Structure 1
Amino acid sequence: MADKLKVALALALIAAGVVGFYLLSEQALVLRVLSVLAGVAAGVAVAWQSEPGRRFVAFARESITETKKVVWPSRKETVQTTGLVFAFVVVMAVFLWVTDKSLEWVLYDLILGWK
């Protein structure tokens, strides 16, 4: 129950920052943006203290660790793969065009006799 209240308070703080942005419409833009940033910072700080917030931080850290384990393709591999994708798209486009024109010819010329 306490965690739900913390999350609700965090959302309320973020909303208060956004509302402050509009309430301070006569003020300088810097002050309005700082209002939003302060609301978001306060909301994040409160959310961080809840159990879902701690789980999210742990998940984010594990995600960063897993991302570092990924073997990213080299530039050459990326260019080759992109070239294959483009070639496949062109071949499929030609195939679908030929299929469409063939069916059009069969339907309109042979079956219906529209010329």
Structure 2
Amino acid sequence: MSNQPVQTVNTSSDKMKVGLAICVAVAGVIGFYLLAGQSTLVRSVALVVGLLLAVALLWTSDSGQGIVTFAKESVRETKKVVWPTRKEAMQITGAVFAFVLLMAIFLWGTDKILEFVLYDLILGWKQ
């Protein structure tokens, strides 16, 4: 990943493109609901066209290009991840289960001790 931050220029044109993209996406969703009497295909096409137009508008903005650059760098970074082997994953899972079991026993014991101290010793309520 490069050490240079992604620079986005927020010009009025860029802001207008983003605002228009949001309006087009909302219009697609509203169109989907306004066409309730139409077939599902017509409603879905209205929604998809609205969303695709919004994505196209956003793609042409500086903010959209920044998102694309971020996504590409994210994919590049995930390819660098070293995944554990099956044996390592099973060992880690076993350690987690053992810890959860120990914590459950500890919390149960703490609850029983507090119950004894509170009800039997302090309040004198024998169960």
Smaller-chain TM-score range? Answer: over 0.9
Unaligned residue ranges in structure 1 (runs of 5+): none
Deviation track 1:45-67 (CA, whole Å, cap 9, x = no partner) reads 00111111111100000000001
> What is the one-letter code of the residue matched to 1:18?
V
Aligned to 1:81: 92
- Residue 107, structure 1, aligned to residue 82, structure 2: no
Identity score, percent: 57
- The farther-off stretch of 11-20 and 78-87 is 78-87
CA RMSD of aligned residues (A): 1.1
TM superposition score normalised by structure 2 = 0.85
**The one of 96, 104, 108 aligned to 1:97:** 108
Question: Between Structure 1 and Structure 2, which shows a larger proportion of helix residues?
Answer: 1
TM normalised by structure 1 equals 0.94
Kindly tell me the number of residue pairs found equivalent between the two proteins.
115
In structure 2, how many angstroms separate the alpha carbons of the residues matched to 1:113 and 1:107? Answer: 8
Quote the Cα distance in structure 1 between the aligned partners of 2:42 and 2:80.
42
* Structure 2: unaligned runs, 5 residues or longer: 1-11
Q: CA deviation at 1:90?
A: 1.0
